[in-house]
Amino acid sequence: MRGRKPLPTVVKLAKGTLRKSRITAGEPQPIGKPVMPQRCSRRAKTIWNRMILPAWWLSSFDGQKAHMLCELAAEFETNSRRMSAARISQLRGVCADLGFDAAARRKLGIAA
């Protein structure tokens, strides 16, 4: 696919740019908040409670990516000096995808 990723309908609605012609037919609708996987490490569970639970904009579709964020953040908190640049880049990308920096929240149309 070329160009920007298409925005979900709910984001278009929040931004006030939703028009009938911009509604994506058959778009899956998220249900509820992300659920913490049982396989989360102890440190990742702490990060989940600190970061994911208060993030009201996340949905059930974000669960896998939220788990990835928590495990990477746990690794970073444990020993950031031994973490490779590629892993740090993954952490930054997941944070941006989930709206955990100001620029990403602006792109997603989230006021914070």
Tokens read off for 104: 């990403």
Structure confidence at residue 7 (pLDDT): 74
Please report, rounded to a whole number, the percentage of residues in the chain having pLDDT higher than 90.
Answer: 48
Structure confidence at residue 24 (pLDDT): 72
Tell me if the pTM is above 0.85.
Answer: no
Inter-residue contact 98 to 56 (CB < 8 Å): no
Give the single-character DSSP code of 111: -
Three-state DSSP state, 16: coil
